Amino acid sequence: MENYKLTPSQWKVIDFPYNASSTLKIIAGPGSGKTLTLLHKIHYLIQSGQLRPNEVLVLSLTNKAVDNIIDNLLSIFELNNVEEHPPAILKELVEQIGVYTIHGLANRVVVENEGLITIIEENGWRGLLKLLPTDFWQNRRLNSNGLTRELQAALNEFKSKNAISKNNKSTKKQDEVIEKLVTIMNNGKVLTNDDLILRATEYLSRIATPSTIENEISEESFTQALKSKYKVILIDEYQDLYPSLLPIIQKVSSEKQLIMFGDTNQSIYGFLGDNSEVITALDKLHLTNSQTLHLYDNFRCTPEIINSANRILSNHHQGHSTAEDLVLKKPSGVAPQIHEFVDPLDELEFLVDNITQSVCSSAKFSDIAILSRTNKHIQTISEHLTSYGIPFEKLTVQPDWLSDTRIQFIIDLLKVALLSFKGEHAEDRMEKLEYKWQSDFNVIVTLSAIKGIGNKSIQMLYSACNARKCSLWEYISCVSKEEWPSTVSNKKKVENYTSLLKPLIKDGKICDLDEPSILLKEIVSIINDLDYDPLKFQTTKDMEIFKKNLGEMFKIMKLSKSNQPQDHPIFVEWFLETYFDQSLIFHRAKLESELDDGSLGSVKLSTIHSSKGLEFPIVYLAGGPMGLSYPIEDKSLYVGMTRARNLLYLLNTKHGRLGEPTNKSMSPLLNNEPFWNYYNLDMKRIHANPSRLFNSNIIRYNKIGGKFGLGKRTFMTYLRPTFKLCKYLL
């Protein structure tokens, strides 16, 4: 290991010995080399012989953080390959290290023990809303979050009430309705994210020690490995943990060495619960063997950026590191740029103009991130970038294709077909009972999405199937519509729904379709014959978005097919169980290919909350239109500012401790050759003749500016066609 690349404070963490049943907490500010230290810590534990690779488990909250760790682990092992292992051996060794999001880990445990489950999405909540009587919200104060959020809140309230007193049956009408919804979810193995954590914890609780393992959970299972194989648990960004995650973390970390990296100044998920409650509980996990270390250095932000960010925190102090120990970047000569705009269009034009200046200098699109406090503002910015043809990518909790409600509808229909077939063709009584009502949730969700099938009809059909003690699919597909309740309107649409799906279910056709293209064509053909409004595109843009997401789904299906194990013969079942994990594999491969193709990449758009744990050379932090008169909350602003490595713009952030707005004529871009020399050095992009290149950059920008009128507000600004600016930059 090359000592000169690591600081004294980093070495204290890396050298810290492995001890079972202990806790090591590392307080690491933004840019302090936290991830690098974590990666070197993993390498040192393995290289020093203290642990085997498959005894190390790394947990984080976000897929982005997991991607970052996975992408860089192999590089660390290659850098420190003192034993000169062949590349293939190193790759195999690194792949044995467990790296998961906490929810991904829980999902794997539950699927291993239960098979196909459903994590409820927006479509699911909308379907459940259809089952609510018209007077359900009576005497209940509604807020601006929308009815789906209100239903989630009511469900959580009901579960909390029952957790306190499980034997007290509810007498309130609202609680009786919620109880029915909970039954539907339980029968259909439909879980919220909190349910997923609790269910996984229950499975882990069944395993006390290796000697008490029961036959239903194999020693080779992933569930067992979490309790008996892993010896060190590393948690990235511990300040983002919230109370509902605590049970599984305690269960996984008990009697292990727990190593936590984080910074409470970056705790911005208070709306999910009190983080201090989690930290206090984890501090007590190994009370007699716990220690805290600090990382004070800053490798990411320029001194100008970090000093400005530190002013935001009223409680900021540098700590106890001496000046000799402290490692900081050299000054760039450019302070954060503060701008205010009354007209939202001025802000959008400013973004385009300055992005163009950056790319005409030395930056790539992929160097640039635009962060905002709201998804709505991000959407406005994305539409403006689209009009210029500037490539961008939204950083979201899950891939865009999975967030598309039309894709969710396709997945729900596939579940209806698979679960209905299994329910009808179960081989024994126990299996039949297991599947009997499992399809009800997905039938409700898909039926309720069809135009003309109203709430009352869904409620009446569901009540009727319950009275007959059969599943909803059995009822609507086997009982004549003449016997349905007279209050069910649009019976023909329900009948059309069943007649379109029956061929898939009959004789197990859904199980025989093992070619992704044929399966997808079959299900899309069915949807085309349903009166499903979201596929009646209002704009060409909406159609293109769906085509893109459907294409992404097809790629994931093909990847699933190539990864399908021999002992899992039904392709559609394998896909439905693993599509989220397969999507992450695909996403990582896509990122690697983008890094290798030499292109300028794409601008990253994100809310401040979704940007946690990431860094970007250039950041535009947009507080939103001037109408949002309130400032960004201190810790959120601090997190947003410290994502920037070299250049930071603060647009309408409205914070009193930031200082006065920057003179707009003092742009640090095209007229600042020293800064771009600094930038290229930091990005390791060294050019043979920087002055000559600098002059050509100015000529290039002026040519583009003349063609598109960048920085000039004209009538055409409001009626601008799609200019496709990016093709001139590329």
Whole-angstrom Cα distance, residue 264 to residue 237? 9
Quote the distance between the C-alpha of residue 320 and its chain's center. Answer: 36
Burial (0-12, 13-18, 19+ Cβ within 10 Å), 699 = exposed
Whole-angstrom Cα distance, residue 105 to residue 118? 15
622 is in an annotated binding site: no
Return the amino acid letter for 482: E
With beta carbons less than 8 A apart as the criterion, state whether 34 and 297 touch: no
Report CA-CA distances (Å) from 603 to 366, 389, 422, 674: 5, 11, 46, 24
With beta carbons less than 8 A apart as the criterion, state whether 495 and 466 touch: no
Please list the residues that pair with 557 across neighbouring strands. Answer: none
Whole-angstrom Cα distance, residue 357 to residue 334? 16
511: tokens are: 């199980």
Q: Please, what is the end-to-end C-alpha distance for the chain in angstroms?
A: 40
- Non-local (6+) Cβ contacts of 231 within 8 A are 18, 20, 51, 55, 56, 256, 257
Domains of the chain, start order: 8-111+203-208+220-297 (3.40.50.300), 118-163+171-188 (no CATH), 401-592 (1.10.486)
Closest CA relative to residue 673, chosen from 697, 652, 648? 697
Whole-angstrom Cα distance, residue 11 to residue 40? 9
Helix or strand holding residue 578 (H, E):
helix 571-596
Long-range Cβ pairs for the range 691-696 (8 Å, 24+)? 694/361
Beta strand 22-28 with 603-607 is unpaired
With beta carbons less than 8 A apart as the criterion, state whether 224 and 217 touch: yes
Whole-angstrom Cα distance, residue 336 to residue 51? 45
127 is in an annotated binding site: no
Q: How many CB atoms lie within 10 A of CB 680?
A: 17
Whole-angstrom Cα distance, residue 99 to residue 43? 14
512: tokens are: 């025989």
In 49-123, beta strands by DSSP E = 56-60, 98-101, 118-119
| Residue ranges, the chain, pLDDT below 70 | 1-4, 139-145, 161-172, 208-220, 314-325, 397, 426-434, 588, 590-599, 625-630, 663-668, 687-700, 702-730
Confidence at residue 494, expressed as pLDDT on a 0 to 100 scale: 94
Q: How many CB atoms lie within 10 A of CB 603?
A: 27
Buried b (16+ CB within 10 A) or exposed e, 373-396: beeebbebbbebbeebebbbbbbb
33 is in an annotated binding site: yes
Beta strand 232-236 with 644-651 is unpaired
34 is in an annotated binding site: yes
721 is in an annotated binding site: no
34: tokens are: 């936290």
Whole-angstrom Cα distance, residue 617 to residue 362? 11
Sign of the dihedral defined by the CA atoms of residues 312, 314, 320, 323, in that order: positive
Whole-angstrom Cα distance, residue 362 to residue 296? 30
28 is in an annotated binding site: yes
In 538-577, beta strands by DSSP E = none
Beta strand 644-651 with 616-622 is parallel
Q: Based on C-alpha coordinates, what's the Rg of the chain? A: 28
Q: Three-state DSSP class for 295?
A: strand
Confidence at residue 217, expressed as pLDDT on a 0 to 100 scale: 47
Confidence at residue 429, expressed as pLDDT on a 0 to 100 scale: 61
pTM over 0.85: no
Closest CA relative to residue 233, chosen from 57, 24, 15, 73? 57
Whole-angstrom Cα distance, residue 130 to residue 146? 14
Closest CA relative to residue 303, chosen from 266, 325, 263, 333? 333
Beta strand 337-339 with 118-119 is unpaired
Q: How many CB atoms lie within 10 A of CB 326?
A: 15
What are the counts of helices (DSSP H) followed by strands (DSSP E) for the chain?
31, 14
With beta carbons less than 8 A apart as the criterion, state whether 601 and 390 touch: no
Confidence at residue 657, expressed as pLDDT on a 0 to 100 scale: 84
98 is in an annotated binding site: no
Write a three-state SS string for 361-402: HCCCHHHEEEEECCHHHHHHHHHHHHHHCCCEEECCCCCHHH
Quote the distance between the C-alpha of residue 253 and its chain's center. Answer: 24
Report CA-CA distances (Å) from 122 to 128, 131, 152, 291, 402: 10, 15, 11, 43, 11
